[in-house]
Structure 1
Amino acid sequence: MDACTLQELLDTLGEPVLRVLTAPAGLAAPVSEVLLYDAGAPFPRSAPGALLLTVGARAGEAGLLARDAAAAGMAGLVVREKDGRPDTVAAAKAHGLALLAVDEDAAWHHVHLLLASAIASRPGPVGGGAGFGDLFALANAVAAAVGGATVIEDARQRILAYSTLPGQVVDEARRQGILGRQVPGSPENSEQYRVLFAAPGPVRLAALDGDELPRLAVAIRAGGETLGSLWVVDDGHIGADAEDALTRGASTAALLLLRARASEELSRHLTSDLLRRLLDGTADPASAAHRLGLAADTPVRVAAFALDGPVSAPDGEQTALRLLDLVRLHCAARYGRHACVLADGRVYALLPVTGERGGERHKRLAEDIVQRAGQALRVRVRAGLGEVVAGLVAVRGSRDDADLVLRVLGPDEDVAAVTEVRARVTLLRLRELLGAERALTAGAWREVLTYDAEHGTEYARTLVCWLDAGCDMARAAKLLAVHPNTCRYRLRQAQQHLGIDLDDPDERLVLWLQLRTLGGLRGGPADRG
């Protein structure tokens, strides 16, 4: 992977988290790591590309720090806002170092974690995240120290890493677990995990059947939270200090899992923020495509999911977050790590079009999510699919489509693509556009409705049914559930009393549009009353 640059770091975190005071080498300068300054420790002789957090640096030390940092090949210094004085800026410029500022109230350990995670998960395709390579190295180290094949699992019994040392003894249960990356479920297994997670330290567990070997295991914990477990196959040759080695391994595993979690959460947050900016049109499509692991011209569409039921405010927020998790889970299962975000009370997912019939699969995915979310959340969920667009540059338009679909879904519809409800969407937009212009709201349609209200007539509904029927009198009468002569009489009366020229196609078109959009009328008996 190419090195992270200052520009990418700023794009990832940005203001107000991080602010550039000066960057004499430009924002394309590579950043490799983040270090904490320690006045009591020897200064690093070589740290190319590092950012140095000036923890506890005293006033007047800016020049010396900048000199030493430049000599070590560092990329820049990070100071608190209040320490970004002119002399500090001048010293950084003089030595060709970038000078970055963070909020003066920011905790240094938090800044260190944020920067380190941002550098580790720097752009690249979504899903690169923090890998588990360090966990595999740890599994090998524990296996060598303890003397048995080792597996590291998360709290859901998913296998994250395993040792690969030559000559290690394994059994079929381990092979099957590694192949499926999941420990097979069974009542016996569940009982062993119960014993393991209740124990304060390593436990020895008997073989579950004659083909398996015993295990030595320990829970991986941090701050009282169980993060997973560490297992070693006991073939009768593990070392006398195996339990101590396993305990040390669990402590290291906890740090690695916490680091991976922090990186994962940061990556998810950054991806969500990137999608939010794409949806409102403020993100650069080219750089966003790179960050999301897509080609710039990859066809995509936006799917919008919304709760459709009475939910109180606090419960609604929690339910919306659960809906976000469900959408993210299903999209990840279909497409790998994926861009989803909760915005304006709706969950949006960016769906790539893969293959010839990729667009058709989107509706099936949305239907599956809606069904499962409704069951899990006990609230009706509906979904709208925007237009398939040619690349991220047009994502905002697809999002607008998806929002409009949600607004026009009928009472018995849960999912629709914009192509399926195009006429309804167009009429909705026409109603909004017409209603926003005084000149477009004027016309005979108002006079017709006023006359009906004052005289108890049904000229407006008769006109709409007749126009909906393509000016076919018999079809219009059927829609009205009246005799064709009644329909014909009403139309003559409407023309006589209101001066409407129904022989003029332009007047018919405008009258129909205004009655349908601004008047909200539709043909048929359902509109009676």
Structure 2
Amino acid sequence: MTAMLLGHLVEALQDDVVSVLSKGAEAEPRVAGVELLDSHEVVRATASGHLLLGVGVDIADLDALDAALRTAADTSCALAVKCAVPVDEDLLARIRPTGVPVLAVNPQMPWTRVQRLVTTVLAARAADSDPGGSPTGGDLFSLANAVAGIVGGAVAIMDTQQVIVAYSNLPDQPIDETRRRGILGRRVPEDAIADHLDRKVWTSDTVAHHQRPGNLPRLAVVVRAGEDVLGSLWVAFPDDASVPECGPTLQEAARVAALHMLALRRQVDAEQESRDRALRSALEGRAGQSDLTDGVCLPGVLVGMSEAVREGGEASDAGAAARRRAALLRLVDLAVLDSRSLGYEPAAALLGDRVYLLLPTAGSGPVSTGVLLDHLLDRARHSLHRSFVAVNSPAVGALSPLLRARRDIDAALDHLREQRADPGAYRTEDLRPELVLRRLIGAVRGDAELRTGIVERLRAHDAEHATEYAVTLLAYLRHFGDVVAASGELHIHQNTLRLRLRRAEQLFGVSLADPTRRLLLTLELAALTQP
């Protein structure tokens, strides 16, 4: 990435993200990259001119602050710490003599988001200096301001993850609550995602007019590179009367934005995309062992995540489906960033309605997988306002065990959903009895040679004579022969249950006294009478 003046970086991020506490000894310090200060091995190998994010540094702890300042000074890097501004003058007097440029980060801003924003801004500036980049010059923020000045509206540029990668900041621009919250959070507000994903925007080759109730009118155009959708560009206007005929201008701006966003994709996370593709191919059974090891670091722990069952369910309309899909995409992003911040180099994939994360065990940070998952689920609950269930496997070191791990995780997530389990992290090893039982029942259901045939006769008799022998036997066996519990579940008298059991023995040759036959009957009943 191209080095950027620290002041320009702060200006691009805006005061609601960072502000300058101390400019440092250099007249114009530059930033060429970003690293996490708690990744000590990485920091020691970091080139000068980086911004170190002081994750976990409490400025009230002077010893911790001094240690962070020494690390930044030793590596000729700038330091970012979380604190409210203005700060005490005594603290500034402690910082200035070190000569370290220090930024104050908004305490409400997650470190992972700061990391992504800084990386994005630096990559956008690098795209500007790329000989194959935009012929018009300027980064995405400059482009947004240029378009805003031409058409007279407020511009925002989003990627496909609903992250706002750039926006105009000219004086006296029109603003509504959606734009205000989007800029503060650097992403499309959750209640506006369904409107943001409007098909007429994303599938059209022209500029679309869109107005959300209670918001300013907007024009939107999709940002594409060939058939690949990279994001979208939106312009808000004060009222309908002020919306100009500016379709060609916005389409040209979208083409310029596409050049920058392609550069972002290349530069910000090429390795991450390679790992994600390799994991997706492996989990779908489309990769060989060599393909996997070329893109994913093994051994690793596979994690599967799905949304927890909500009380009362959730609406099934198109808007709700779009919000669920958007939440899963944001969960992928959150999982990758949080894993990175805690010392892992993960691979992630969204398949269906489940997110899979592969966390390498070799060279991982000091935080265990369990702690990472608890942290991630807590962050997802607060950031996405949704609760998730996560299941992790033991460490796997090759393709075949990885596929078996996914099979076990899928079975565990199915089981937890059926049981309406509480949100949280689970392990396949703790659920091994349930997983073995599910596999046994699945095998019996799918292979007639593993069945005695008695349950088919029971069900045929029940269907023909409106009896309930199959369900009665299953309840009795599930309660280990406890007549009181079984009759309570079926809402029948105990004597009625005993009568049905005797009749089943007489009519079908059921032997409830033989342990082997009881076991086989239980498996067959579970396989053929349950969904």
- Using structure 2 for the length normalisation, give the TM-score: 0.49
Rg comparison, structure with higher value: 1
